[in-house]
Structure 1
Amino acid sequence: MDRPTLYIANKNYSSWSFRPWMALTGAGVDFEEVLIPFDDAGGNPNIKAISPSGRVPVLQHGGLKIWESLAIIEYAAELYPDAGLWPRDRAERALARSVSMEMLSGFRALRNACPMNIRRPRGGIALPDGVDADVGRIETIWRDLLQKSGGPFLFGRFSGADAMFAPVVNRFDVYDLVSREDTLIYMETMKSHSAWRKWEEAARAEPWIVAEDEV
């Protein structure tokens, strides 16, 4: 089987890149990584050259290009059915996709107020309307799934659903948004995953500094 290539942007900032990278790496999928940094205020032309949408992430497999984080995870789950990117049980797969889609399409107040930034010193900010509600809803999703599965990940073993929430773990952490014990335990589980540690190490070593309104 041809080895796919995942095009991503800066590991410190790119939440959209983090999701499929974390999913594929955490599931043991062998892929080539190509990082195209945010280093041009007008948009890096190298991204536009490889991406139909003009954005990353993009997974290229042979002559096929797949863009958008969740679509990449879905394609990889079909390509590598034994990797465990989704739960084996059909009802749990449907639930995993539901919460992943809610993460993909929702929580705009949290996204806008608290951009992902691995290197950000930990500390709170003044939060605009809507952020507390987003945080509460995410904590409810995590709590319900962890209680049902028994943990340590949302569906017991690591899956694409955990990867979809990975940037939120960073946001909750560096902006000091949560204090519930069960939330903090899940966050530590995620941050202890070997894929997370590998991404974080690379993010901290990156030379680029990008204004938050450009990410």
Structure 2
Amino acid sequence: MEYLEGEDLDHMLQREGPLPWARLANMAIQICSGLSSAHAKGTYHRDIKPQNCFRVTLDRNPDHIKLIDFGIAKDTNSGQELTQDGVLLGTPEYMAPELIATNATPDARSDIYAVGATLYKLITGTPPFSSKNVLDLLYHQSTPRPRPRASGRPIATSRRSPTTSCSRPSRRTRTSATRAPTSSARRCSSRSRPWSARRSCGT
């Protein structure tokens, strides 16, 4: 098991607040690239969320992201299910609606939905759907698309990657390599001013 020294993005969010898109876009590229590698091998994570995106320093890059906790991942090559039928796995705030509504089999699109929900929280400070009632969260597929929250900066993810968190999987990106979200993030990142720790602190 690899030892990682750093912090997950949820802890980072609690400490620093919502992230500027110029910085988050580069993280999004890495998250999608990591999923691309997993999907190419027939593995779906099933629990993408800020807590499972771990930030480490690598080659002088303090925002190198590693995906962690593949404990409930689904391996389509093994021919075996990790859980019994009817057992829900994942974190409700980031679960794709079809996994609850129709007991659908997790695939690349459900991971992509979770990426969208993760980016939404990192740029706004709150998940797209929230409730103290778990049942309300589990049936959020009947809720209209969340409106951009007031976080003091433009909600770039909702404007530039609208299909990532679509409630209907058919409207979500259909590629197992998550290439479309990655390409979108690269385009957005190239249009943004380079992020630096000094500039974010106003120095």
Higher helix share goes to which structure? Answer: 1
Q: Say yes or no: TM over 0.5.
A: no
TM-score interval w.r.t. the shorter chain? under 0.3
